[in-house]
Chain A
Amino acid sequence: MSAETAPAQPLIEVEGLVTHYGRRKILDGVDLTVEAGEIRVIMGGSGSGKSTLLWHLLGLYRPTAGTIRLLGKDIIRIPAAEMRALRKHIGVSFQGGALFTSMTVGENVALPLREHTDLDENTIRIMSRLKLEVVNLGGFQDLMPAQLSGGMTKRAALARAIVMDPKLLFFDEPSAGLDPVVSAELDELILRLRDAMRMTMVVVTHELDSAFKIADRISVLDQGKVLLTGSVEQVRDSDSDRVQDLLNRRPRDITVDAEEYLRRLTEEEYG
């Protein structure tokens, strides 16, 4: 039985993920399971660890403890060559786009094809233009990234992320820095992509409107832990104070731990 016909296997399985930045613990035992075909939103305030979680899911950093399995492969322990092969099935759209500034938009989108396939130039051109059409950037292939607006940059980055038809797509803060209309259009695009290409998506965001619109399930991250995973309704109706703080934009109560406070003030190399 091939991987495609076994929908029972989750695409992402994270168990007991613990990470540190210097001496500061960022993630504190995160468990996360993402099923094939769903759009999972990872939500949380600034400093909740959601970006850190994303970097680790992408295999860019090594965690202190825990396992991460993407498409059934343990990405912390597989050999580097196998990890590179796995990356062909994973697309990533970065917050700032991370388009290569020295290349045109078309070359950016074509790069994964050029590096991973032996397709001829014509096919590569057609395939990358097709993906630009998908994100409504048809005809913009000859512009440089610096000439694009914020929304166009995000869409171009999305085109590059999906050019290899990945099984799994990560999306970092799709609506950050965009006006509400463009942001809503991007949400539509994400939903359309999932339906058309049957991709599994993980979207990291702190934008509530966007999260509620696109999510099948939401995982709320707070202080390095998954507070709650559930459907949009379950998250809305949650009786957790921290979740409600986040939903209602309430400032959180900051409680001061006296001992910890003194230690921060006096210790020479805290952090």
Chain B
Amino acid sequence: MLDKTVNALGGGVVKAVSGFGYLGLLLLESLYWFAFGRTRGQPVKAGPIFYQMVEVGVRAIPIVTVLSFAVGVSLAIQSIYALKRFGAESQVVVAIAIGVTREFGPLITGILVAGRSASALAARIGSMVVSQEVDALRVIGIMPVRYLVAPPLIALLIMVPTLTIISDAAAIFGGALYSLPSLDIGLWAYLMASVDSLQTSDVTQGLWKSIVFGVLIALIGVGSGFSVRGGAEGVGRATTQAVVLAISGIVIADMVFTFYLNR
């Protein structure tokens, strides 16, 4: 019994470590092709990167804006409720500005993009594995990582931080709209006060996190896709796994980064 448990535990650890190693190799290989592909006859072309930027980024703008706005409003409601006890409602400007840029903006964006794009990447690559399209790429002489992984990775590296900035703005705007009546100042004054209360490091901390989230989404999405075995059912499983792993990865990475960046 104990024997079995230890065995399963050991197997799980080995799987996890090899999984991390695999994702690390995917990252290195993608960056390698991006940097040196042109001289090796395997260029990462601009067209597919732009296409992916539209898919993972531009198309996510409406949903990111709406949800960030909603979170900004909720955050304002809770902050005002908490700050009222100390008679410090006016501090809601600072609370929202810092909370959003350092934490909620990147986190909401990361989770949304993970839900949209990690699943899409896993499904696309998984079905290509099943229909032998990945094998076809290799026999044509196209490295699958260069062709299928590098473009979405680069696109996410650019678009997740961009979406985070949009999310920051939308959430602060949402917070402002709710707070204005109780603060008795104008919208413009509120926004200026928000900008004043922020230091560059608040914004950059959020952006660094969003870059890490982008990498996680790309690697977990394509990694799950490449690991598909066994037909349509396998694709479904990989898609689910991609979303769960990507969101878990983002939340945990967020905690770890927040801890180290604030020591």
Q: Which residues of A contact B (CB under 8 A)?
A: 58-60, 81, 84-85, 87-88, 90, 92, 94-96, 98-102, 111-112, 115-116, 160
How many interface residues does chain B have, given as a range? 10 to 19
Bound Cα distance from A96 to B136, whole angstroms: 11
Query: At the interface, yes or no: B196 with Cβ under 8 Å from chain A?
Result: no
Q: A81-B40, A84-B41 are in contact. Are A96 and B132 (CB under 8 A)?
A: yes
Q: Tell me whether A112 and B138 are in contact (CB under 8 A).
A: no
A18–B216 alpha-carbon span in the complex (Å): 39
Q: A81-B40, A84-B41 are in contact. Are A101 and B141 (CB under 8 A)?
A: no
The docked-state distance in angstroms from the alpha carbon of A116 to that of B135 is 17
How far apart are B3's CB and chain A's nearest CB, in angstroms?
12
Contact A84 B141 (CB under 8 A): yes
In the complex, chain B residues whose CB is within 8 Å of the CB of A112 = 140-141
Beta-carbon contact of A87 and B140 below 8 Å:
yes
Q: Give the residue name and chain of the A residue nearest to B43 (CB).
A: A115
Whether the Cβ atoms of A98 and B141 lie closer than 8 Å is: no
Among B129-184, those with CB < 8 Å from A are: 131-133, 135-136, 138-143
Q: Which residues of B contact A99 (CB under 8 A)?
A: 133, 136
In the complex, chain B residues whose CB is within 8 Å of the CB of A96: 131-132
Q: CA A214 – CA B253 in complex, angstroms?
A: 59
A100 touches B133 (CB 8 A): yes
Other A-B pairs, 15, CB within 8 Å; known A59-B139, A98-B135, A102-B124: A58-B135, A58-B138, A58-B139, A60-B138, A84-B143, A87-B141, A90-B139, A92-B136, A94-B132, A96-B131, A99-B133, A99-B136, A101-B131, A115-B140, A115-B142
Contact surface of B with A, Cβ cutoff 8 Å:
40-42, 124, 127-128, 131-133, 135-136, 138-143
List 18 A–B pairs whose Cβ atoms lie within 8 Å, in order of A's numbering.
A59-B139, A60-B135, A84-B41, A84-B141, A85-B141, A88-B141, A94-B132, A95-B132, A98-B131, A98-B135, A99-B136, A100-B133, A100-B136, A101-B128, A101-B133, A115-B140, A116-B141, A160-B140
Assembly CA distance A112 to B135 (angstroms): 14
In the complex, chain B residues whose CB is within 8 Å of the CB of A100: 128, 133, 136
A85 contacts across to B, CB distance below 8 A: 141
Please indicate the chain A residues that have their CB under 8 angstroms from the CB of B143 in the complex: 84
- Smallest CB separation, A4 vs chain B (Å): 21
What separation, in Å, do the CA atoms of A104 and B42 have in the docked complex? 22
Chain B, residue nearest A94 (CB): B132
Residue of B nearest to A114 (CB): B45
Whether the pair B141, A60 counts as a contact (CB closer than 8 A) is no
Residues of B within 8 A of A58 (CB): 135, 138-139
Closest B residue by C-beta to A116 = B141
Q: In the assembled complex, which residues on chain B have CB atoms less than 8 Å from the CB atom of A95?
A: 132
| Cross-chain contact of B133 among A60, A84, A88, A98 (Cβ < 8 A) | A98
Q: Which residues of A contact B135 (CB under 8 A)?
A: 58, 60, 94, 98
CA gap between A160 and B141 in the complex, in Å: 13
B149: shortest Cβ distance to chain A, in Å?
16
| CB within 8 Å for A115 and B141 given contacts A81-B40, A101-B131 | yes
Docked Cα-Cα span, A196 to B91, in Å, equals: 82
CA distance in complex: A92, B135 (Å)? 10
Residues on the A chain within 8 Å of B42, using CB? 84
Residues of chain A within 8 A of B40, CB atoms compared: 81
Task: Please tell me which one of the listed residues A87, A101, A102 contacts residue B139 in the complex, with CB atoms under 8 A apart.
Answer: A87
Most buried by A among B128, B135, B136, B143: B136
B142 touches A98 (CB 8 A): no
Q: How far is the CA of A34 from the CA of B111 in the complex (A)?
A: 55
**Closest residue of chain A to B139, judged by CB?**
A92
Chain B residues with CB under 8 Å of A115's CB are 140-142
Q: How far is the CA of A102 from the CA of B132 in the complex (A)?
A: 14
List residues of chain A with CB within 8 A of the CB of B124.
Answer: 102
A-B pairs, top 10 by smallest CB distance, nearest first, are A87-B141, A98-B136, A98-B132, A92-B139, A84-B141, A94-B132, A112-B140, A98-B133, A58-B139, A115-B142
Q: For A92, give the chain B residue with the smallest CB separation.
A: B139
> Which A residues are CB-close (under 8 A) to B132?
94-96, 98
Chain B residues contacting A59 (CB-CB under 8 Å) are: 139
By beta carbon, the residue of chain B nearest A58 is B139
Q: How far does the alpha carbon of A99 sit from the alpha carbon of B133 in the complex, in Å?
A: 7
* Bound CA–CA A100/B136 (angstroms): 9
A98 to B136, CA, bound (A): 6
B142 neighbours in A (Cβ, 8 Å): 111, 115
Q: Which residues of A contact B127 (CB under 8 A)?
A: 101
Given the complex, which residues of A lie within 8 Å of B128, measured CB to CB?
Answer: 100-101
